[in-house]
Amino acid sequence: MATTKADAPASLTAKRIESLLSARLFLEPQLTGGRLTFLSNLSGHLSLYAMDVAGGVPEPMLPPQVALQNPELIGGHSFEVLPGLSQILVMIDRDGDENYEPFLIPIDGGFPEPLSAEMFGGRRSHLVSVDARSGRAYFMAESREESVDFAIRVDLETGEADTLWQSAYGAFPAAWTPDHSRVFLLDGYTLGDVVLYEVESGSRRMLHGTPLDERDGDGEYALSGIASPHGTKSGSGILLVTTIFGDTGVPGYLDLTKPRADIERVAFRGLVHEGAGELERLQHLEGDRYAAVFNIDGCSWAYEARLDEAARTLTVERILVGEGELAGGVLHGIDCDEESGRFALAFCTATMPTQLYVLEPDRSDAEGGVGVGSTEPPRSGGAGLAGAGAGSGVGSTEPPRSGGAGLAGAGAGGVRAGRRTRERALGLAPGLLAAGEDASFESHDGLRISARLYLPSSELGYDGPWPLVYYVHGGPQSQERPNFAWFSMPLIQILALEGFAVFVPNVRGSSGYGLTYTKWVDRDWGGDDRLDHVHAMTEVLPRDPRLDVERAGVVGRSYGGYMTLMLASRHPELWRAAVDMFGPYDLLTFVDRIPETWKPYFRLAVGDPEHDREFFVDRSPRSKIFDIVCPLLVIQGQNDPRVVEQESRDLVDELRGAGRDVDYLVFEDEGHDVLKLPNRVRCYERIVGFFSEHLEAV
């Protein structure tokens, strides 16, 4: 008979959960003047810390009661160190409500003071970028009362703030000339449908694309996919990422010396990675130097490159991430200190928690062995662990090095690439964690779907076939990656430790595989992407003798929660249990309750609730909610602005009113995530306990 972890004491489950969560997060490091400043949950929630670059005990920069938000949700920078002003600019909300406002603290830490409260008070603001030399910061601020976004520039020394433009579709101040005399803005309609413009004498002048209000309803308009634009050092052009020349993104150049120029392709020389993926972003470092960050098979590659503006060429000078110790995982921020030439970065894999690294300017100065950042030619081979399916998993099964979980000095233990932390799952042998294997498949219409399957380690001694937990990521235009810092990966690891197999697909609509693939889900929520999941459960996974698909449960967050409800209600025969984490239940009430500034996007990407009412009803879990036959656990953050608590409460009340089996867990001090340590422990315990109870052998 198959066994599961329910045969073992519950106390062991609790210990394993706390063991995995004992590994602290280290995110978005900035290196300035010999000091590393970064986000961490050392105190049990995310906050701001700093320490000497050589290592030491992190110093808190904020009062203990201030909790910061997950940087992957914030829509901009979480903070910016301002050495010239001896201050730090930090974005703060209230327990996950995402109503961010900018605050200043002393560079050595202190109590936050609001920046230009009269401009930002009562708005949801995002820090786009800071020019430290001029002391100017650019923000996009959302109204909390109407569908209007504002582009704002602030003089950080005086606090003077100016509104540059406003729009219902972004007004995102994305680039500027070195003297700030020209500022370039983006409006985005749906993913990839982006226009670039500047404001002259109070009027909008288009640089690329046709704005929505000037389009012919029957016309076709090519997607530009413009992202991460930067004004060049000369002031004569804009370097950007675009999908005009390739679905997965390539560098492009817009000549500002011409009245109306087309975007030109920029050649990229010296790239060494292999595999499918996307150019994620270009990040300006200094002068004509840029960091280029790629997502290849779900794993991060990063290069230092130099722009030859006249030749329209980017040339790689150094591999920063993608080889050696920094392979097969996900980058969580990279920063270059102009004065020293050193890089600071955070990195994790599916089995290694986030670590802080410092890369020296060149190999001769590196403290430690040869590794990432070396100027030697790269080793042959693929892109490392294929987080989304393709590739083999090179480098993915190497355990974190032994040693304490505290902070190490530069080069301690011969660590390559100047590793500054030693985070690990407390008391768990690295070999017990699941690296995952490629489980990609062809869907019902022949489309290739990338996926990974995480299985219990043979060292745990479980007999198969294993019960299956089917994990659906959020977004929907997002991607499940080998990312220990994201909520899902510790959950996947805990489930594997408890004797479950975990299947994680990136179905159509996911990011990471090109714009066309990602756009499949536009105006088709719960359509062909749902059928990808059904095909996997009915035609693919049953062929694997290691899996017991008769004991299957489904879980997802956000859009993944929506899909969990869709799968449990439309295909009830497939599931023994379902866990919905803040998923939309009724698309009509969902789009009515989201923030006003998000409604224009949803009308374009999902549908208009008035004109497309029949579609909204048909694609809402609510329309077939009483067809759910399996037990259901619903989890929600009280302060969630994206899927408000009432949305989940409506679901629970309706099912309970009909006498159905549904549990409801609400976190009073969380939003669209579960970030605080006690809440995470409780959340994981409930999910694992729920599946252990309901996925037992018949």
Residue 151, pLDDT > 50, answer yes
Residue 4, pLDDT > 90, answer no
673-686: pLDDT as tens digits:
999 999 999 999 99
CA–CA distance, 190 with 38 (Å, rounded to integer): 32
The pLDDT score that the predictor gives to residue 693 is: 95
CA–CA distance, 281 with 284 (Å, rounded to integer): 10
Selected residue with higher pLDDT from 235 and 395: 235
Average the pLDDT over each of 46-50, 213-217, 495-499, 615-619 and give the range with the smallest value. 213-217
CA–CA distance, 197 with 213 (Å, rounded to integer): 14
CA distances for 401 relative to 353, 395, 457, 642, 697, angstroms: 11, 13, 19, 39, 38
Q: Which domains, and CATH codes, for the chain?
A: 6-16+428-694 (3.40.50.1820)
CA distances for 196 relative to 207, 226, 254, 466, angstroms: 5, 8, 10, 51
Contacts of 180 (CB under 8 A, 6+ apart): 131, 134, 136, 153
Of the candidates 479, 364, 481, 343, the one whose C-alpha atom is nearest the C-alpha of residue 420 is 343
Helix, strand, coil shares of the chain, percent, nearest 5, are: 20, 35, 45
CA–CA distance, 198 with 186 (Å, rounded to integer): 9
The pLDDT score that the predictor gives to residue 400 is: 30
Of the candidates 157, 139, 34, 33, the one whose C-alpha atom is nearest the C-alpha of residue 85 is 157
Q: 435 with 393: CB under 8 angstroms? A: yes
The pLDDT score that the predictor gives to residue 127 is: 98
Residue 274, pLDDT > 50, answer yes
408 confidence band (pLDDT: 50, 70, 90): very low
Counting every residue written for the chain, the total comes to 698
The average pLDDT across 45-67 equals 95
The pLDDT score that the predictor gives to residue 391 is: 30
Residue 76, pLDDT > 70, answer yes
Sign of the Cα torsion 339, 340, 341, 345 reads negative
The pLDDT score that the predictor gives to residue 56 is: 87
What phi, psi does 136 have (nearest 5°)? -105, 140
What phi, psi does 419 have (nearest 5°)? -70, 130
Q: Both tokens of residue 279? A: 């150019």
pTM for the whole thing?
A: 0.89
Cβ of 442: how many Cβ atoms within 10 Å? Answer: 12
| Residue keyed to tokens 């010296």 | 270
Cβ of 412: how many Cβ atoms within 10 Å? Answer: 16
Q: What DSSP string describes 295-339?
A: EETTEEEEEEEEEETTTTEEEEEEEEESSGGG-SSEEEEEEE-TT
CA–CA distance, 643 with 590 (Å, rounded to integer): 7
385 confidence band (pLDDT: 50, 70, 90): very low
The pLDDT score that the predictor gives to residue 11 is: 67
Q: Which amino acid is at 446?
A: G
SS3 call for 178:
coil
CA–CA distance, 152 with 324 (Å, rounded to integer): 42
**Portion of the chain with pLDDT greater than 90, in percent:** 85
Of the candidates 240, 194, 190, 238, the one whose C-alpha atom is nearest the C-alpha of residue 602 is 190
Beta strands in 518-641 (DSSP E): 547-557, 577-581, 632-637
Average the pLDDT over each of 270-279, 375-384, 568-577, 635-644 and give the range with the smallest value. 375-384
Residue 321, pLDDT > 80, answer yes
* DSSP β-ladder status, 289-296 and 299-308: antiparallel
Residue 15, pLDDT > 60, answer yes
343-359: pLDDT as tens digits:
999 999 999 999 999 99
Q: What DSSP string describes 263-288?
A: PEE-EEE-----SSEEEEEEEEEETT
The pLDDT score that the predictor gives to residue 390 is: 29
Q: Both tokens of residue 211? A: 């704005």
Q: Both tokens of residue 423? A: 């985070």
Helices (H) and strands (E) in the chain, counts: 11, 37
The pLDDT score that the predictor gives to residue 362 is: 64
121-142: pLDDT as tens digits:
999 999 999 999 899 999 999 9
98-121: pLDDT as tens digits:
999 999 999 999 999 999 999 999
386 confidence band (pLDDT: 50, 70, 90): very low
CA–CA distance, 420 with 464 (Å, rounded to integer): 40
The pLDDT score that the predictor gives to residue 211 is: 95
Residue 627, pLDDT > 50, answer yes
The pLDDT score that the predictor gives to residue 337 is: 95
Q: Both tokens of residue 337? A: 């200190």
The pLDDT score that the predictor gives to residue 365 is: 38
Selected residue with higher pLDDT from 464 and 465: 465
